[in-house]
Structure 1
Amino acid sequence: MPSTLTDRLHSLRTRIATATARAGRPAGSVELLAVSKTFPASLIAEAAATGQTLFGENRVQEALAKIPKLPPTLRWHLIGHLQSNKIRKILPYVEAIHSVDSLKLARDIQRIATELDLHPAIYLEVNLGQESSKSGFSADTLPIHLPELLTLDRLRILGLMAIPPWQPDPEASRPAFAQLRQLRDQLTHQTHHPLPGLSMGMSHDFEVAIEEGATIVRVGSALFGER
C-alpha cells in the first residue's frame, strides 16, 4: 500500500479508472465514496485537501460529531444501518442514505423529509446472501414493495446497494455483484423507472464490482489504512 494518504488516493483513482475502462464504461462513471468511519476529522480534512469531497459514515452520532468540524463543501452519505429515531437528526446533513432496508424505514424517511422540506437520495439495501446478520430487502420481496416505494415522492431512489457475503477472493464476489445488477435491470423493466445507481464494492473487491456495473464504491481501509 502506498505510504501517504495522497499517494493512496491517487492509486485508488487510477485503479478505479482502469477498471472502468476495462469494463468498457465511460470515464468518470464510477464515484469513490471514502468511508471515514472511526477516522478523525483531521484525516478527513487531509483527504479533502487532495480533492476527495465525498465521504461516508456508518453511525449517526459519529457523523454529527465530525461534519460541523469540516468544510461545508464536503458531501456526506450515510452507509450504516439507520434507526428511525435518528432520521430527523441526520437528514439535514447527508445527501444520500445507502441503507434503506425496509418499507417502514422508507415511509419514516418520507414523513420526516416532508416535515423538513427535504428530498433525500436513497439506495435500497438488498440482502443478497439472506444473511441473518444483515438487513435488507430480499431479491424476492423487493419487486413486490418497489411500486409503493416509488410513490414516496420525497425520496429520490437512485438504485440498489448490497454487501455480499465476505469472500477472501474478490472474484468469488462477482456472481453477487452480477446478481444485484440483474435485479436492478429487472426492476427497471418492471416499473419503467430508472434506477441507475449500484452501490457495491469495498476496499478488497471494488474493481470486480466496477466490472459488474458499480456506480459508487465504498472504500475505507485502502485509503485511510486499517482501523
Structure 2
Amino acid sequence: MAHSLESAAANALRLVLERIEVAVHQAGRSSSQVRLVAVSKTKSVSVIKEVYDAGHRHFGENYVQELIDKAPQLSNDIQWHFIGHLQSNKAKNLVANVPNLYMVESVDSTKIANSLDRAVSGLERKSLKVLVQVNTSGEKSKSGVEPSECIELARHVYTQCPNLQFSGLMTIGMLDYTCTPENFKMLANCREEICTALGIREEGCELSMGMSNDFELAIHMGSTNIRVGSTIFGAREYPAKQ
C-alpha cells in the first residue's frame, strides 16, 4: 500500500530507478555515475509535474517549440536536455527562452555549434554543456557525424566555441531506438580517441547512450546518461491527423 498514492508516471520512474540501481551494481559502477533523463516529448505539463514531484529533475525534449512552451510552466530548477535534431536557425530561440537549459545533446555540425555559441554569448548565462552526436548505426535516417569525423567536431567545440562546454558524446542507435553492443562500443571508442586527441580525461567526457529498450546494456557498457521516455511516461501521444 505504500506506493498506492503514486501516479502511474511516478511509480514507473521509481521502477526505472530500481532497474538502474541493479544494472549499476552488476556493472561494478556507482549510481552517481549514471544520470537518468526522463524524456517528456509529447507529454503534458501535468504529467511532467508528477515526475518532478517524485523528486526527478533532469528532463529531455526533442522539439524546440515544445520545450519553449513547457519550460515556463514548470519549476526553474528543472535541468532541461535538448535531445532532438536542432536546426541552426532555432538555436538562439532555444537558448534565449529556456534559461534552465542544462545541455544540448545533439550537436552534429560546426554550424550548429557556432549558432549555439553565438546564442549563449549574447546572454548572461554560464557556458552551455553540449554533446557531439555520433551516428554509430550508419543509417541515413539518423542524425550525427560519422565516427571518423567526431574528433574534428569535438575539437571545434572545445577550441573554437568559448561559450560551450564540450561534455561528451551521444548516440541514438537503430531505427527501433535500440543499440547493439557494437554501437555502444563504437561510441566508447570515439571517446577514447577524442580524449587522447584533446588531452582530456575520459571521466570528464560523458557517453549519452541507452533508451527505454536498452539502457541496462548501455550502463554495462559505460553510459553516463540514459534517456528514458515511454517506460516512464507511456506511449507518446501525437495529435490525430486531420
TM-score interval (norm. to shorter) = over 0.9
1:32 corresponds to: 36
Cα separation, 2, equivalents of 1:162 and 1:183: 11
User: Is 149-158 or 119-128 further displaced after alignment?
Assistant: 149-158
Taking only the aligned residue pairs, the percentage that are identical comes to 37
Partner of 2:13: 9
Does 2:57 align with 1:50?
no
Hey, what does 2:223 align to over in structure 1?
A: 214
Listed as ranges, the gaps of 5+ residues in structure 1 are none
Number of the residue aligned with 2:189? 182
Residues 211-220 or 17-26, more deviating = 17-26
Q: What is the CA distance between 1:135 and its match in structure 2?
A: 1.5
Q: Distance in 1 between matches of 2:232 and 2:153?
A: 36
Question: 4+ residue runs of structure 1 moved beyond 4 angstroms?
Answer: none
The 1-side partners of 2:199 and 2:30 are apart by 24
How many angstroms apart in 2 are the aligned matches of 1:34 and 1:117? 27
Q: Does the aligned pair in 1 maintain the 2:37–2:228 contact within 8 Å?
A: yes
* Equivalent AA in structure 2 for residue 226 of structure 1: A
In structure 2, how many angstroms separate the alpha carbons of the residues matched to 1:148 and 1:60? 24
What is the Cα deviation at residue 83 of structure 1? 1.1
Deviation at 1:81, TM superposition (A): 0.8
* Partner Cα distance (2:188, 2:145) in 1: 15
* Other-structure match for 1:153: 162
Would the aligned equivalents of 2:150 and 2:190 in 1 still touch at CA under 8 Å? no
Q: Specify which of 48, 61, 65 is matched with residue 65 of structure 2.
A: 61
Distance in 1 separating the partners of 2:40 and 2:194 = 31
Tell me how far apart the structure 2 counterparts of residues 220 and 49 of structure 1 sit (CA, whole Å): 17
| Root-mean-square deviation over aligned CA pairs | 1.8
Q: Which amino acid aligns with 1:191?
A: L
Q: List aligned pairs for 1:62-81, cutoff 5 A.
A: 62-81=66-85
- What's the TM-score, normalizing by structure 2? 0.87
User: Which residue in 2 is equivalent to 1:91?
Assistant: 95
> After superposition, where does 1:127-142 map in structure 2 within 5 Å?
127-142=135-150
- Once the two structures are TM-superposed, the CA of residue 14 in structure 1 deviates from its matched residue by 0.7
SS in 2 for 1:146: helix
**Distance change in 2, residues 1:167/1:220 (3 Å):** closer
Deviations 1:41-87 (A, max 9, x none): 00000111111111000001111111111112211110001111211
In 2, the alpha carbon distance for the partners of 1:18 and 1:212 equals 14
Please tell me the residue identity of whatever aligns with 1:211.
H
In structure 1, the residue corresponding to 2:147 is in which secondary structure?
coil
SS, match of residue 143 in structure 1: helix
SS at match of 1:184: helix
Distance 1:201 1:184 in 2: 16
Q: CA deviation at 1:104?
A: 1.2
Residue 105 of structure 2 aligns to a residue whose secondary structure is strand
TM-score, with length taken from structure 1: 0.93
Q: How far has the Cα of 1:167 moved from its partner?
A: 5.8
Shift of 1:153: 1.3
The answer on 1:106 being equivalent to 2:106 is no
**Is contact 2:23–2:219 with CA below 8 Å preserved after alignment?**
yes
Shift of 1:144: 3.0
Q: Which runs of 5+ in 2 are unaligned?
A: 1-5, 237-242
Which SS does the other structure have where 1:129 is aligned? Answer: coil
Out of 116-125 and 29-38, give the one that drifted further. Answer: 116-125
